[in-house]
Amino acid sequence: GAVVSQHPSWVICKSGTSVKIECRSLDFQATTMFWYRQFPKQSLMLMATSNEGSKATYEQGVEKDKFLINHASLTLSTLTVTSAHPEDSSFYICSAGTSKKTQYFGPGTRLLVL
C-alpha cells in the first residue's frame, strides 16, 4: 500500500525557535497533502491543505504566518512552526490522498516546546 513518512518523529526545542517537519509520499504522487494537529485524547484537527505548486489553504483559526507550509514537489510537503511556544506542543500528522479516496497518514511528529 501507499506509504507516507514524516521526519523527524519527535523533536524538542526551546521556546522561540522554529521547527520544520517533513512529510513525504514514498511510492505515490500526492498533489494534495493535509496537515493535522492532535492533542492528547482529542480528535485530529485539520490545520491546512497543502497543494503542490500553490499556496496552502488554512482552516479557520490557524495562523498561516506561524505555520508555514510548502509543497515543493508531488512527494514532499513541509510544515514549519515558527517561533514555537509551549502551547504549540502537540502531535503533528500529515496525510496524502489517492485517486481511490483513501487517505494515508504519516506516523506523526511529536513536538515538545520547552
Partner 1 sequence: SQKIEQNSEALNIQEGKTATLTCNYTNYSPAYLQWYRQDPGRGPVFLLLIRENEKEKRKERLKVTFDTTLKQSLFHITASQPADSATYLCALFNSGNTPLVFGKGTRLSVIA
Query: Where does this chain bind partner 1 (CB under 8 A)?
Result: 4, 6, 32, 34, 36, 41-46, 49, 91, 93, 95, 97, 101-108, 110
| Closest separation in Å from C-beta 39 to partner 1 | 11
| Closest separation in Å from C-beta 47 to partner 1 | 11
| CB closer to partner 1 out of 19 and 33 | 33
Residue pair 58/65 in contact by the 8 Å Cβ criterion: no
Q: What is the DSSP string of 18-47?
A: -EEEEEEESSS--SEEEEEEE-TTS--EEE
